[in-house]
Amino acid sequence: MYLHGDDPTRSTGSPDIVLACVVVPSAAEGLNAPPYGSAFTILCGVTHPTSRGRIAPSGPGRNDAPVIDPHYLETEHDRATFRIALKRARMVGHHAALDEWRDAEILPGAPVQSDHELDAFIAGAASTHHHPAGTCRMGSDTDAVVDPDLRLNGFDNAFVVDASVMPAIPSGPINAAIVAIAETWAASSRD
């Protein structure tokens, strides 16, 4: 569910956090998830991060893997919003409606309470929602990678038709937007 961290009952404007219940244990790489069948997970995240990652070539060959640095939590906005998201996830996880399903909080664990402790946990747990977008931003300005017709700037017949052209990160899952981009481009390229 997509919510406003400051007021989860607000229904206007763009939500800034996301919570998702997963009926199996799930933990970020490097954290120990409990055994399957023994726990549920409430994932949380920031819908409009202000931190910006970087992708760069690692060498001259086409098979050289890119260097990808997501720069998670680079800005104070992202750290504070993620902290709010984790607090909201905890609130849901500790709700009386889940009493028969919950024994004890495993991650980050009941002793982790201060903002400093929460920030340390988040720094070790933050990862992608696997909805990358915006690495080849579309626009009319000189910093845009592709023009409004999705043509790669500086090339006559090369186009980028995927989530990388989105000029801003959307609030929710991006599949529908990608389908719309691809179908619109495909229809216009037949003209």
User: Cα-flanking dihedrals φ and ψ of residue 139, to 5°?
Assistant: 175, 180
Identify the three-state secondary structure at position 12. coil
Measured in degrees and rounded to the nearest 5, phi and psi for residue 183 equal -70, -40
* Residue of 48, 77, 129, 131 marked catalytic: 131
Does the CA dihedral 172-176-179-183 come out positive or negative?
negative
Q: What does the radius of gyration of the chain's CA atoms come to, in whole angstroms?
A: 20
**DSSP of 120-150:** HHHHHH----S----TT-B-SSTT-SB-TT-
Q: Which pairs count as long-range contacts for 8-14, CB under 8 Å and 24+ apart, including other chains?
A: 8/88, 14/47, 14/48, 14/171
Q: Is 131 considered catalytic here?
A: yes
Is the separation of the CB atoms in 14 and 47 below 8 Å? yes
Give catalytic residue positions: 131
